[in-house]
Structures are given as C-alpha cells and as structure tokens.
Structure 1
Amino acid sequence: MDKKRTCRLIRSSRTYHGKQGLDYAEAISKESVDAQGICMHLLTIPPGKRAKAHLHQDHETAIYMLHGKSAMWYGENLELYMELDVGDFLYIPAGMPHLPYNPSETEPCTTLIARTDPNEQESVLLLPELEAEWQKDQLLAD
C-alpha cells in the first residue's frame, strides 16, 4: 500500500548522533517524512569540538551559517582551510573530504545543512586514515 504523499510540518525535538561524531537535530529526511531526494537538519557544534573526517559519496551538501563561527579543513588530503561566519553559504561537492569544527572555546556554532541524500547517514563515509594523517600534521604545525 502506498503512503499518501502530503506536506509535513516538523518541529524538531529529537536529535541523533551521526557517524561524524556530532549530534544533529532531526528534521527533513527519508526517515522522518519519507523524503525522496533531500535531507535537511540543524547542527550545533559545541565550543572546541569537531567532526570526524568524512565525505558524502555521490551527494552534494549546502550549508548556511546561522550562529557563531565555524571552520573546515577540506580537500583530498584535508590540505585546504576556510572559515565561515554568520550569513555565509557553503557548497561541498559530492565526494569531497572535509573536517568541520568550531574554533571558539566559548561559543557554540549552528548551521543549517541540506544534502541531496534523503537518508540522514547513508552516504557518510568516515576517513580515519585521512584524519590520522591530518592530526599528525596538526601536531607538527604546533
């Protein structure tokens, strides 16, 4: 039996722990509303915390910075770096390794994230070997 497709209002009250090591506010996804081609949720990164190095296979990501400041290492070897301020938009192409984090020691940062993968976590591929190399490089830089 087919479910009737209709508009759905989500008042986000649940969170889930992502493979990336952070907690996401559940919103629009295959799991919550049977979305077919998009996933959207809020991410708040606590002060000084970061995600695990990862990529989203075959899916693009769009991010809007709502609160605070965020930073991200990205590129094939996490060799590139950028910072995001409130009001900034960020596009991450499919298959791009990245490692986002909150550089503030006192203030959380919050982003609105949308991906072309309707599943909350299906396309997340962790990159532990890349993260280990990145951590080694960070220690050498200090």
Structure 2
Amino acid sequence: MPNHDHDRGTGAVRIVGGALEMGLQRQQLRAMVTASTAGARCLSSGDVYMAPGHYSAAHIYAEAEIIVRILDGYAATVTWGDEGTAAVMRHEPGQDLYVPAGLAHAAINLSRTHPVLAYEVRSTPRFNEDVSPRPDLDAQLPLLAQQVQDEHVDRVRQAQARGELPWW
C-alpha cells in the first residue's frame, strides 16, 4: 500500500507509491489515489507497468470509466464491441485514451525491448476492484499482439531510416 500524508487543515493528501502488484488482468499496477489512501469518493488513480512484449488479459470494468495516459513507451489497446470484432488503437507518450465502463479491452506493449509506463485515472474510488476478466476473448490476443508488435518494429525501422529518433 502507498504511504500518504494528510494535510489536516485542507484535506490535501500526498501519496508515495508502494510496490507494483499483479492485477487480475495480468498487468502490474500500483494504486495511488484511492478511497483508502486519500479518502477519494469519486475517482482513483494508479501506475501501470508493462514489461517489454507483454500484453494483458482481456477484461472489463463494470463501473469505472478509465483514462490512460502513456508516460513512456508505445502501447496499443484492443477493444471489442458487442459484435465481438476487435479494434486496435495505438497510443504513445502524452496521449490519453478513454475507455467507457463495460467495454472489453486489453493492453499490448508494442515494443519487445522497452517497457511501457502509464498512469490511469478511474471513475471509482477503489482502484481495480471492479475488474472482470474476459477469458472468452483471450485466445485472440497472442496473434493480435504479434501483429501489432511486428507493425511497430516496421514503423521503428522506417523512422530510424529517416533519422527520426528516438524510437524503440
């Protein structure tokens, strides 16, 4: 659990992160602002670390809307609509991705050599407590991950050939 200091006069809280923990969705997470650390009533936030080449399990958040901001690295989020068709959205440092509550999704680190660090904000005060795995979609992930990671390698090589660095 993170360490936290309360400013008793204003209600402000400074939170210093604890250890990463593996979530049900096979992502390493560090809850930061939550109901228990800061008294949050309507939101929570935390860090997400994805090792090189890693992809999460498919999952949904029953109640939480989430915003994902990539801080370092390159990622893709796979989403599945009601008809079961997968869509891939790539995102990079400085970009936000919004995932509505109930939308099945999974994250992919596009790099096989560089980790991804992201920061998530969720619309519920208990970070990651409403996650539900979607194992029915997991069989699609190995091939999807390989395809988007291969495409990323091609884009990196093309960018490097043009002298556009850094790319990993």
TM-score (norm 2): 0.73
Which runs of at least 4 in structure 1 moved beyond 3 Å after TM superposition? 135-139
More helix as a share of residues: 2
Residue deviations 1:29-88 (CA, integer Å, cap 9, x gap): 123223211110111111001111001112210111111100111022251011111111
Q: Would the alpha carbon gap of residues 137 and 25 (structure 1) be closer, same or farther in structure 2, given more than 3 Å must change?
A: closer
Q: Structure 2 regions of 5+ residues with no counterpart? A: 1-7, 148-168
Q: Secondary structure at the match of 1:28?
A: coil
Structure 1 segment 69-108 matched on structure 2, within 5 A: 69-76=74-81, 77=84, 79-108=86-115
- Is 1:8 matched with 2:25? no
Once residues 39 and 122 of structure 1 are traced to their aligned partners in structure 2, the CA distance between those partners, rounded to angstroms, is 11
For CA contacts below 8 A with separation 6 or more, give which structure has more relative contact order: 1
- Count of aligned residue pairs for this structure pair: 136
Q: Secondary structure at the match of 2:90?
A: strand
RMSD of aligned alpha carbons = 2.2
Q: Secondary structure at the match of 1:129?
A: helix
TM-score (norm 1): 0.85
Larger CA Rg, structure 1 vs 2: 2
Q: Matched residues, percent identical?
A: 23
Q: Structure 1 regions of 5+ residues with no counterpart? A: none
